[in-house]
Chains A and B, each alone.
Chain A
């Protein structure tokens, strides 16, 4: 294995390691634009030049493999001067319209300018004009003046999605990024190009001009769009989610996430059930709990355990499901459990899964397998046969696209003696949302489940609580609270605790950590995600994350 000396520190690295990667292992972050750890290396921006001893020319460190005995300087005077010159070159035709550029604040060009250039422009000629606000596709807008032609976006479409929509067109300082004639940048991952664009040349239609990046706070979270459970940065400002960005996790989503998943943030704010309701009346939690206790007490006396049922939601965190299991066991004393959640949808081979629920494997984990949980069809059959009189349902999703089954369920709900709905949404808009994440309004001639419910209890979204989702591959992934529960909602695990306590069973936990300890049992550290199968800790940020050059978002 070659030994290389970087800034007088020696390190032994694997064969084929580039100088930039070796430097990153020693903690030196070499400035770069075109290099991205997940893409091929064109070495076209020249930002990463370093000095290699016995070599008269500066070398691009992203491309150059290390040799044994190599001596590299990444911060020498010559290197710093070269960086300044490269930046000056890039800025020759750059508009520097940072005030209206969405990238400002997270722009590598801004950062490197401040670090290495920081001089007034010496340009005496007019800048070359490029296209502004040029739509490359339905989600992505291109700015030809800001583009530094690093070709990250082109390589992404070639190498990751393999859809090849983008290319460079024209020559010299008129070069711009274009789609091939007759094509649009319209794949399931098109907004990833916005993330990897090191400058503000690509902006997302949805996020354009919505919020300045320095105003937002970021929470580590998990996308709820499908069972892949892509790791995300949840960016929020004033209790409102502004956007999702993928968070690096080589075991789950690498650096990427899909466009429909990005839009699921809208579910946090649209169509929310805001307050507890008893019948048609909006009430406070105290009154709703009292109403629940009196009606449920009566129902428990009147109906056999086999006449009571619960619909579980794979949209809810493991913590909520753990409480649901205890609630069904100890309060409802029933083993009639049914699977709710969203119906399946589109899938592809990269990330997107057909199962649009983030936590189906969580139900499996919490209930020790899916044998105990029956299908939604059997629920409708049992309801129509009059076998079920009392139903406690989590979330308004009906896991079918079959309108007949949906209608049969709604009819059967109307015949129940007691129907409790514990849900995030009112159901006035229907799933699935269109590709922009906006929900078409439901056909309001049909009564919504909230209207049919004797008692409706508002639950919180994943952005408003701490929790855990178990993804398709059985990796348990914690997510964190971004802001306090919106409106009058409460996290599912707290609702069950509250109802259980009032019904005379001690169900609540003072802290989520206590609940997690009980649920995950032998796990030594509840913040660490675990795989279901081998129960081994798998750290969220892989050990080699620190030793890779940062992707420069």
Chain B
């Protein structure tokens, strides 16, 4: 074991005025007052408080906030999901219920006849989004799951989920551009 270097620090003594506390007290009050009057300013931009007047004022969510699920749609407005069950398999809360069926359109083949997410059981982990091979389910709607008055309301069915849906950027069937290597 090597030598241990010990450095001794000497505490600075208080000056006379500091010992009386009077000047320090006035300085402190000054800081408090500065914040007090800044935050009373009618112009919100000038204030430096972080308070959001929720729910009167909407909150800004970060880009990767996991909000209400949405089901993406195809170019023709049909549901993009192909009922592969990857999401319901991975879901740790076991809250996605899908019933697959054969589609009348032969180019689609398989689609979810029923797609229900039980939002009260969902733990918003986002695994379903990660698992989906078709970019069919997303949680980037920016809408958070609000309170329910009725248990039934928490079952979001296919149509509810598609209401928030949009078109995916991914090309259907994948792109054919080979990777650089």
Contacts and interface: CB of A to CB of B under 8 A. Distances in A.
Given A99-B134, A126-B176, 18 more contacts: A98-B84, A98-B133, A120-B179, A121-B178, A122-B178, A123-B176, A123-B178, A124-B178, A132-B109, A133-B102, A133-B106, A209-B83, A209-B100, A209-B101, A212-B84, A212-B85, A215-B85, A215-B89
Nearest to B136: A99
A307 B110 CA distance: 60
Interface centre among A98, A132, A133, A214 (most CB of B within 10 A): A133
Interface string A201-218: 000000011101011000
Given A132-B106, A208-B102, A209-B102, A99 B84 contact: yes
Contact of A100 (B106, B110, B178, B179): B110
B86 interface: yes
Interface in B160-178: 176, 178
A120 B175 CA distance: 12
Contacts of A124: 176, 178
B82 interface: yes
Interface string A99-136: 11000100000000000000011111010000011000
Given A123-B176, A209-B100, A99 B109 contact: no
Contacts of B83: 100, 209
B82 A100 contact: yes
Interface string B39-67: 00000000000000000000000000000
A98 B134 CA distance: 11
A121 B82 CA distance: 22
B71 to A, nearest CB: 15
29 contacts: A98-B84, A98-B133, A99-B82, A99-B84, A99-B86, A99-B133, A99-B134, A100-B82, A100-B83, A100-B84, A100-B110, A104-B84, A120-B178, A120-B179, A121-B178, A122-B178, A124-B176, A124-B178, A132-B106, A133-B102, A133-B106, A208-B102, A209-B83, A209-B100, A209-B110, A212-B85, A212-B89, A215-B85, A215-B89
B113 to A, nearest CB: 9
Contacts of A209: 83, 100-102, 110
Contacts of B109: 100, 132-133
A337 B84 CA distance: 53
A215 B89 CA distance: 8
A392 to B, nearest CB: 42
Nearest to A99: B84
Interface string A73-114: 000000000000000000000000011100010000000000
- How would you classify the secondary structure of chain A's contact residues: helix, strand, loop or mixed? loop
Contacts of A132: 106, 109
Contacts of B89: 212, 214-215
Contacts of A215: 85, 89
A132 B103 CA distance: 13
Interface in A415-429: none
Interface centre among B89, B101, B110, B179 (most CB of A within 10 A): B110
A100 to B, nearest CB: 4
Interface string B68-112: 000000000000001111100100000000001110001001100
Contacts of A208: 102
Interface string B128-143: 0000011000000000
Contacts of B134: 99
Contacts of B101: 209
A122 B89 CA distance: 31
Interface centre among B82, B83, B109 (most CB of A within 10 A): B109
Contacts of A99: 82, 84, 86, 133-134
Contacts of B106: 132-133
A479 to B, nearest CB: 28
In the complex, the 7 A-B pairs of residues with the closest C-beta atoms, listed nearest first: A99-B84, A209-B100, A100-B110, A212-B85, A100-B82, A120-B179, A99-B82
A133 B110 CA distance: 10
Contacts of A122: 178
A91 to B, nearest CB: 13
B154 to A, nearest CB: 21
Contacts of B84: 98-100, 104, 212
Contacts of B133: 98-99
Interface in A202-241: 208-210, 212, 214-215
A123 B83 CA distance: 27
A201 to B, nearest CB: 14
Interface centre among B89, B100, B101, B133 (most CB of A within 10 A): B100
A205 to B, nearest CB: 10
Interface in A423-480: none
A164 B117 CA distance: 48
A400 B145 CA distance: 61
Nearest to A122: B178
A206 to B, nearest CB: 12
Contacts of B86: 99
Nearest to A127: B176
B70 to A, nearest CB: 19
A422 to B, nearest CB: 35
A104 B133 CA distance: 13
Interface string B108-132: 0110000000000000000000000
Interface centre among A133, A208, A209, A214 (most CB of B within 10 A): A209
Contacts of B85: 212, 215
A419 B178 CA distance: 75
Interface string A250-294: 000000000000000000000000000000000000000000000
B173 to A, nearest CB: 9
A213 to B, nearest CB: 10
A208 to B, nearest CB: 7
B86 to A, nearest CB: 7
Nearest to A100: B110
A120 B178 CA distance: 8
Nearest to A208: B102
B131 to A, nearest CB: 11
Nearest to B101: A209
Contacts of B179: 120
B138 to A, nearest CB: 16
Nearest to A209: B100
Contacts of A120: 178-179
A261 B83 CA distance: 29
A447 B37 CA distance: 90
A100 B82 CA distance: 6
Interface centre among A99, A120, A121, A132 (most CB of B within 10 A): A99
A210 B100 CA distance: 7
A121 B181 CA distance: 11
